Amino acid sequence: MVRPFRFVASLPLIRLTGRSASNVVELLGHLRGATDAMLSYQTYEYHREYPWLGARYPSRIAYWVSEVLRERALGERLAMIDLRTTAGFADLREQFVSMIDAYLNGKPTVRDAPPGLELSFCEAAGSLVPTGRTASTPDEFLSGLEVSTADEVFHHLIEARWPVHTVEHDPIWWLEQGGHAAMAERLRLLQPFVFTLEELRVRAIGVFERDALVARIARRVSAYPVQTPVKGVLERFAFFHEAREVVHDLFRTRRQDDRPAR
């Protein structure tokens, strides 16, 4: 039996290191020796702070190179790094280093950032705080998700999945272990780095609501065998009215899922 899912919140804590980069050369030097916490600050913690920029710039580094240094060509390459497919922080570090190293081998003119706009190499050191809420079924998880804060959404739908997988806090793993593979797959298909945390929460809620609506339709339809006479069906107008309302809710949820990313 799968143990209950426990909701926790990841509270942000940023440590100053005194390190900063003024240009691409200094950026490369700092990245070579960057700790995992520094890389987390430049990527995942950046998305918590500025989620509306994630669709174009998945990292603080890509944004800084493109918008502050105006190194557009390099910035576009760095923006292509998919945070969902990196195999840990070592792999993430290697991707940044190799791209910048290849760029500098072309001997471009190195630009310095304007005073005060250097890229800081802080460390993200968040702490996990239990909320006291648990879920034993998808319906209970939906109830918990409906009242979840942004810090809970960030941890369960982002931080627990990348770059180091924490299974006990990953709702997708929990659903799979509980025999809800189809629901888990729909939750996995959500792309968290192109939405704000609130938009991500709403879309995750839609995954669970849709299954509940479909199950409700199935239960109602199964109550009427195929052999039911037409007259008998017509007499059950209340059923058709309810089915129409359920289908309406289903498509309303679907339209919410299809809203374009910000």
Please name the residues in contact with 256: beta carbons below 8 A apart, sequence gap of 6 or more.
202, 203, 206
User: What Å distances lie between residue 49 and 93, 106, 151, 234, CA to CA?
Assistant: 21, 33, 11, 56
User: Rounded to the nearest 10 degrees, how much is the dihedral formed by the CA atoms of 31, 35, 41, 45?
Assistant: 130
- Are residues 2 and 141 in contact, defined by beta-carbon separation less than 8 angstroms? no
Which of these, 167, 155, 205, 200, lies nearest to 183 by C-alpha position? Answer: 205
Q: What are phi and psi of 135, to 5 degrees?
A: -145, 135
* Res 175: pLDDT: 96
pLDDT digits (tens, 9 = 90+) for 124-174: 988 899 999 999 999 999 999 999 999 999 999 999 999 888 999 999 999
Which is more confidently placed, 257 or 140? 140
Q: What mean pLDDT value characterizes the chain? A: 86
Whole-model pTM: value is: 0.79
